[in-house]
Amino acid sequence: MYIRRQKGPVYVALPDGTILSRSDLPSVKTMRWVARRKATVVTAVAAGMLRREEALEMYDISGEEFDSWVKAMTSHGHGGLKVTKLQNYRQP
């Protein structure tokens, strides 16, 4: 039996003391991106568990879309990733 080894760390310890593991990441078949899933992917990339390019390929998202998630999360926190709040955070 062949076991495929994942690249990168299996888990990372976040600054708030929580542990983020690869099993916490959303499924690669995810089509509906809620704020919690977006935040998990952004956090995994920021913590070094995933490379940016690996996340883009794994979840089939564009670099522009991922960058907008990062910007929304750094500017407005977890709430900035909610689609229903997107209009409140956009600049006129």
Which range among 11-15, 23-27, 38-42 shows the weakest confidence by mean pLDDT? 11-15
Between 48 and 80, the more confident residue is 48
Q: Domain limits of the chain?
A: 32-89
At residue 85, the pLDDT reads 63
Cβ atoms 33, 40 nearer than 8 A = no
Question: Does the structure show a pLDDT above 90 at 29?
Answer: yes
Question: Does the structure show a pLDDT above 70 at 12?
Answer: yes
Identify the CATH class of 32-89. mainly alpha
Question: Does the structure show a pLDDT above 70 at 86?
Answer: no
At residue 60, the pLDDT reads 94
Tally of CA atoms within 13 A in the half-sphere of 32 that contains its CB: 1
